[in-house]
Amino acid sequence: MNNKDVIIACDFKSAEETFRFLDLFCNEARKPFLKIGMELFYAEGPAIVREIKRRGHRIFLDLKLHDIPNTVKKAMAVLSRLDVDMCNVHAAGTIEMMRAAVEGLTREDGTRPLLVAVTQLTSTSEERMQRELLIGASINDTIVRYACNTREAGLDGVVCSPLEAGMVHEACGAGFLTVTPGIRFADGDVADQVRVTTPVRAREIGSDFIVVGRPVTAAPDPVAAYRRCVEEFIGVE
């Protein structure tokens, strides 16, 4: 898998909406890498994953598992049969839980999708983290610690703000993946996210994958917005 790409967040409420959006890309040589989140997966179930895979798209299944280790292990064993390309857990679930996730996700032949862990959601500010979650460390120190725990557990990388991608690579190595939501065009609206940046800046900081939702899905011309994002982040159309 190419470890540098733009992932479109398909945050739609139904298969009908999703396929109406994907049909816009039917003539594109480059099949977008897609993120399927909770809303769409809970509405449509595994069938939506199978159909999108049939259409030739890579899939990041963004369900953010966070439970006791045995439950996560069993759930990951189910997800591994869906042939997705990437899935995730919450790093806050501890190293033991993340190791269980790797074990459950790994198939009998030794293969598995990429597995990444969420550090802190991009909607979480340092002030909220400290006041509401009672985490006394700085948000940067917390994210780096979560990333180091994730690496120790044997995962492939983390989900973090693009603003933290550089420090994660510094702590965990260049080959440790950073999947970064919180991407907005320079002339766009940040909406409900706090720690955000542009595709160009994410590339400069060192993000491996950027996840882009509303700047593409809500654009007047989603295909043009996607092409712009690819050009700004990867440098090619």
Q: Which residues are catalytic?
A: 64
Please give the single-letter amino acid code of residue 69: P
**In the chain, which residue ranges form alpha helices assigned H by DSSP?**
15-22, 38-44, 46-54, 69-79, 95-105, 126-132, 139-153, 165-172, 199-205, 214-217, 222-233
Length of the chain measured in residues: 237
Q: What pairs with residue 171 in β-bridges?
A: none
Q: What pairs with residue 61 in β-bridges?
A: 36, 87
Structure tokens at 136: 């006394």
